[in-house]
Structure 1
Amino acid sequence: MSNRRNMYFFHPNGHGTNEKLQPLFDLAKQNDFTIIDDPKKANIIVSIGGDGAFLQAVRKTGFRQDCLYTGITRSNEAGLYCDFNLDNFNEVLHSMTHEEMEVRRFPVIEADLNNGETTFNCLNELSVRSTIIKTIVIDVKIDDKPFETFRGDGLIVATPTGSTGYNKSINGAVLDPRIPCYQVSELASLNNNRYRTLGSSFVLDKDRKLTLDIVPDGNSYPIIGMDNEAHPTRQVKTITVTLSDKVIKTVKLKNNSYWDRVKRTFL
């Protein structure tokens, strides 16, 4: 495991944080791991906090493909991305040291804004919402073919792991992360004699391309949400979404499947 000995901790820089986590750092060093300050040189990136911290860690370190991510929650936090908490961090180190770890791979979506102006990835979801008290109109295309014209508060494009968050709150389906796909869900769509949409979430295969054309109807400056961040942009005309070839690799506890965590969280 010598190629996985450089460990970077992503954690809030609040008062006293380093002191509180010092036992964690000491435990890692005792197991022959090297704590480093540069995430680019890390083989293991550890987030401290819940799912929000994990998403930030992945985003801030550039969706690294050549390292392992793992999330550690505090005692009062829960997380669907995080298998470990501060009380069982030694299990992470033991698994890595004795090569007993299992690796889970989470799919990522890629979004292209305004035909190549900028691109970005999302591990959880991409959301497009109105910034003003007015419905947003979006022409939805699948593989460049017109599918529907949406009018409402916005749309959410969720990965399978992101399906348990914002997507689930608007009655989207919870998807198995082993299925290479992504889901499109509506936010308060208008459905009447004049406007008509599918009215339910729909799931697209990994090889499908989704195109969202913003209709210039006085609402050309929507909020583009990327996981738990807002994307700054002057004007949005077109968003093209595909399932990326990238996957986020995480350390997994044995006998702790994705559906085990879903059950603990929601049932």
Structure 2
Amino acid sequence: MKFAVISKGDAISNECMYKIRTYLTDFRLTYDEDEPDIVISVGGDGTLLYAFHRYRSRLEQTAFVGVHTGHLGFYADWVPDEIEKLVIAIAKTPYQIVEYPLLEVTIRYVRGGREAKYLALNECTVKSVGGTLVMDVEIRGDLFETFRGDGLCISTPSGSTAYNKALGGAILHPSLEAIQVAEMASINNRIFRTIGSPLVLPKHHTCMLKPVNDVDFQITIDHLSLLHKDVKSIQCRVADEKIRFARFRPFPFWKRVRESFIQ
């Protein structure tokens, strides 16, 4: 088996990374940063997001596992004290593959010809540069509303506990193949109206955002922030691709939600 280890970069994470690499090499596993079968992320959820984007072209061949060295992470289910146990599990135990849905974002431009396509593990956010965001929101090709406000957040089920939750969105179990659209400070008065509630769209429903004004947009894909000009439309849907996690023990989602937000 070929493996790679990605560290957050702090002292604790680097120490764990070196231990994992040394121990797995001693078990005669091959360290390969280019074509790993398994990627161990050491740090937090941000580190795993970085690992996901680094290996997004190998999602069908690569599985991820997380070690959290700080606060409890949703994508990391091991701690530094369990490094030896994790290494033995990777080297000796067949692991279960758990797949989570991803968000596909396709940005098309006024001049046509080219388009930009991205995959998000957590969410995509859309804001206008310097002013109110005004977007026609289409669902399955039909106009649903004209949104006016600070911005829109389109999240995956596994990302529903992140920015989406802060916006009042629902927490979705990551086994659901869906995306969620949440508003950021929408304008609602006698003239302008939006639904005012998060929308959960199934896999076969596509959400299309079409600018009403000719403005530039600040679009984030997980931790990546991008400036886009001359945008014709932003298409959001459940991606055909999925992220694969290597599970060596149970990982109760609702227990993790409770530990993160209630206890």
- After TM superposition, the score normalised by the length of structure 1 is 0.90
Write out per-residue CA displacement over residues 158-186 of structure 1, whole angstroms, 9 at most, x where no aligned residue. 00000000000011000011111110000
Q: Secondary structure at the match of 2:160?
A: helix
Asked if the contact 2:63/2:245 (under 8 Å) is kept, the reply is: yes
Q: Secondary structure at the match of 1:187?
A: strand
State whether structure 2 residue 226 is matched by structure 1 residue 231: yes
Write out per-residue CA displacement over residues 60-107 of structure 1, whole angstroms, 9 at most, x where no aligned residue. 222522111111111x32210111122212333333333342322111
Report the counterpart of residue 244 of structure 1 in structure 2. Answer: 239
Change (3 A) 1:80 1:214: same
CA distance in 2, matches of 1:183, 1:144: 17
Report the counterpart of residue 131 of structure 1 in structure 2. Answer: 129
Q: Secondary structure at the match of 2:228?
A: coil
Which structure 1 residue ranges, 5 or more long, are not aligned? none
Write out per-residue CA displacement over residues 8-51 of structure 1, whole angstroms, 9 at most, x where no aligned residue. 11224568975663222222223322223x3x321111111100
One-letter amino acid of the structure 2 residue matched with residue 23 of structure 1: K
**What's the % identity of the aligned pairs?**
30
One-letter amino acid of the structure 2 residue matched with residue 226 of structure 1: I
CA distance in 1, matches of 2:179, 2:87: 33
Report the counterpart of residue 165 of structure 1 in structure 2. Answer: 162
Asked if the contact 1:25/1:35 (under 8 Å) is kept, the reply is: yes
Aligned length: 257
Which structure 2 residue ranges, 5 or more long, are not aligned? none
Asked if the contact 1:83/1:253 (under 8 Å) is kept, the reply is: no
Taking the TM superposition and a 5 Å limit, the aligned residue runs for 1:32-47 are 32-36=28-32, 38=33, 40-47=34-41
Taking the TM superposition and a 5 Å limit, the aligned residue runs for 1:31-110 are 31-36=27-32, 38=33, 40-63=34-57, 64-74=59-69, 76-110=70-104
Q: Secondary structure at the match of 2:126?
A: strand
Asked if the contact 1:215/1:237 (under 8 Å) is kept, the reply is: no
One-letter amino acid of the structure 2 residue matched with residue 215 of structure 1: V
Q: Secondary structure at the match of 1:25?
A: helix
Taking the TM superposition and a 5 Å limit, the aligned residue runs for 1:107-256 are 107-114=101-108, 117-132=115-130, 134-216=131-213, 220-256=215-251
Q: Which residue of the other structure, out of 9, 20, 23, is the alignment partner of 1:24?
A: 20
Q: Secondary structure at the match of 1:55?
A: helix
One-letter amino acid of the structure 1 residue matched with residue 230 of structure 2: Q
CA RMSD of aligned residues (A): 1.9
Change (3 A) 1:81 1:204: same
Asked if the contact 1:83/1:252 (under 8 Å) is kept, the reply is: no
Q: Secondary structure at the match of 2:236?
A: strand
Q: Secondary structure at the match of 1:114?
A: strand
Q: Which has the higher strand share?
A: 2
Asked if the contact 1:49/1:77 (under 8 Å) is kept, the reply is: no
CA distance in 2, matches of 1:19, 1:54: 17
Q: Secondary structure at the match of 2:187?
A: coil
CA distance in 2, matches of 1:248, 1:103: 10
- After TM superposition, the score normalised by the length of structure 2 is 0.91
Change (3 A) 1:168 1:107: same
CA distance in 1, matches of 2:72, 2:126: 27
